[in-house]
Structure 1
Amino acid sequence: MLATKPKIALSACLAGEEVRFNGGHKESRLCTEALAEHFELVPVCPEVAIGLGTPRAAIHLAGDPAQPRAVNSRDDTIDVSDALIQYADQMAVELDDICGYIFMQKSPSCGLERIKVYQANGYPARERASGLYAARFRELRPDLPLEEEGRLCDPVLRENFIIRVLAYADWQRLCAEGLSRHALIAFHSRYKYQLMAHNPEQYKVLGKLLGSMSRQDDPQQIGPAYFSQLIAALRRCANRGTHGNVLMHLSGYLRRFLDAGDKQEIRRVIEQYMAGIVPLVVPLTLLKHHLNHHPDAYLLSQVYLQPHPENLSLRNAI
């Protein structure tokens, strides 16, 4: 973890602030309790920020699903679309130090996807859209990890989001210290097995990208392109097959130190994980046990072995 907590922006209603159209909130205990221990939460409500009161008439999306407008649900002549988009423009610049953003689902301003777009007949179109503020923010900050709070109930998606948030924070720190050829290669080396677990194909692509970097190449130019590809690769969720492949690779480094019984036990536990019998934390704990007795500097540097704080228990359910 960083010396200071990485920052995550989130819809203010998820932080327990009474900013919803009905004067209520949608506090997320995951955010305000579990995540708040390790991250600084930055609440944002675009609807209140643009001057809509609380409580207030709800807004909804209307018109063309490809280019919807955000209008008052009682009076569609009251259109707040431009104000929401302009506020996204503002916040995409102001929130330059955040490492992730958690949005309120189903919101015409903050929802990332599947938002109803109402037609003149009063019924929603078949096609769905994104909330206007969220869509514009995503357009301006394409590498930033974004997620809807509801999807974080899925343990795989929850872990994937936190992995990306902490990778983003790691990259911010690297950039603050100064990008160099050596620093870039060292960063990639630490993420080798994390990348292999999420996207084996991009693991090879990015390895070749940095492997072909010469002393004349400017890391200030290569670095951002590299990280964009890395963070995109990490969006793909790892699965039991890719995790199992990484676990087998990691166990290979320890084979020369282990007797036949230990080797057989490691293989058995990895196979149990791949079969869905035990969660990921079980083979990882066994590997870490042996690694503690037979330290390997390269393995100990791997983000994969501890990509997030243990007490979040993110790998206990995957």
Structure 2
Amino acid sequence: MSEKIPVGISACLLGDSVRFDGGHKRCAFAAEDLAPFMRYEPVCPEMAIGLPTPRPALRLTETAENSVELCFSNGKGDPLTQEMQSFSEKKIASLHHLCGYIVCAKSPSCGMERVRVYQPENNNNRKEGVGIFTRELMKQMPWLPVEEDGRLHDPVLRENFVERIYTLHEFNQLWRSGLTRGKLIAFHSRYKLTLLAHSQPEYREIGRFVAAIEQWPSLEAFAFEYRQRLMDLLKHKATRGNHTNVMMHVQGYFRPQLNAKQREELTSLIDHYRQGLQPLLAPMTLLKHYMSEYPDPYLTQQRYFEPYPEALRLRYGH
């Protein structure tokens, strides 16, 4: 998984001066930490439909018919809703190779959630909107990991997002290499511990789905459905409780080889993680040590132990 991964991003988050005020909203995590691993495809929808910078700010405005229009906040000019919608539909149709997208929060074109929707006659608003470009993005590609720059400050959301990007990238590589039942089942097997850490009920549900692969006359149709279920499952944040259960399960593989003191040390470290006294990295490092000492074919192939490059340091702090 060394090749750079194609990821879309709002151009302002890379430091491009494309915002309405002539500035940018550079996101350090995207522009510095993630950049060595991603091949970014930046887009500024507002510039793309021909608006200059600087320019009057845009806003989502509710109409008398309960629809939402993209208008200039100064009340001048015609709504730009149709231009933005047409651009979004055409542009996103060419982006289905992407494995993730980082959008600019609060933007009327790019915001993912809680974008202000204004009343037409005053400044009253409610935080219930979605940017027009991002709404179309999530409509056309419901499996795609999409995250806002502000939410990436949260270490749990950040790790979850990056993990989903790498998972989708591997799945897309598999698809391009030619679908077979064997490849799909092997892929699912590699992700079993990962899925278990995210949701035990959905882990069991997707397991039953994969077990019925022979009933699907079209492997491509199966792959479309599997991809959606896989990415929906991974949206659930992996919890301390689920990680603890997974690591205790893995610990069982080494019981015959470990002496009483080693077993006690590992159990204690996992429990300290469960209590929030240690980061996930601590018990994970000891488990990986025992995996190298006592290799097991099933554990060795599990993406759970290395879901993304260690250099991203995403498991260090929680």
> Normalised by the shorter chain, which TM-score bucket?
over 0.9
**2:216–2:222 Cα contact (<8 Å) kept:** no
Counterparts of 1:126 and 1:70, CA distance in 2: 15
What percentage of aligned pairs have identical amino acids? Answer: 39
Q: SS at 2:126's partner residue?
A: coil
In the TM superposition, 1:1-318 aligns within 5 A as 1-2=1-2, 4-64=3-63, 67-126=67-126, 128-214=128-214, 217-318=217-318
Counterparts of 2:6 and 2:126, CA distance in 1: 36
Counterparts of 1:23 and 1:108, CA distance in 2: 17
Counterparts of 1:69 and 1:114, CA distance in 2: 16
Counterparts of 2:133 and 2:170, CA distance in 1: 27
Q: Cα offset for 1:124? A: 2.9
Q: TM-score, normalised by structure 1?
A: 0.96
**1:116–1:124 Cα contact (<8 Å) kept:** no
**1:7–1:98 Cα contact (<8 Å) kept:** yes
Q: Cα offset for 1:212? A: 2.5
Indicate the RMSD between aligned Cα atoms, in angstroms.
1.5
Q: Cα offset for 1:273? A: 0.3
Q: Cα offset for 1:68? A: 1.4
Matched positions, count: 317
Counterparts of 1:310 and 1:127, CA distance in 2: 37
Q: SS at 2:25's partner residue?
A: coil
- Give the aligned residue type for 1:8: V
5+ residue gaps in structure 1?
Answer: none
Q: Cα offset for 1:257? A: 1.4
**1:111–1:131 Cα contact (<8 Å) kept:** yes
| Cα pair distance change 1:276/1:228, threshold 3 Å | same
5+ residue gaps in structure 2?
Answer: none
Counterparts of 2:149 and 2:101, CA distance in 1: 10
Q: Cα offset for 1:103? A: 0.3
Deviation per CA, 1:208-239: give whole Å up to 9, x if none. Answer: 11112327743222121111101100001011
Counterparts of 1:222 and 1:76, CA distance in 2: 50
- More displaced, 100-109 or 209-218? 209-218
- Give the aligned residue type for 2:70: A
Q: TM-score, normalised by structure 2?
A: 0.96
**1:184–1:219 Cα contact (<8 Å) kept:** no
**1:13–1:27 Cα contact (<8 Å) kept:** yes
Counterparts of 1:154 and 1:215, CA distance in 2: 41
Q: Cα offset for 1:157? A: 0.1
Deviation per CA, 1:79-109: give whole Å up to 9, x if none. Answer: 1111111111112121122100000001011
Counterparts of 2:103 and 2:194, CA distance in 1: 26
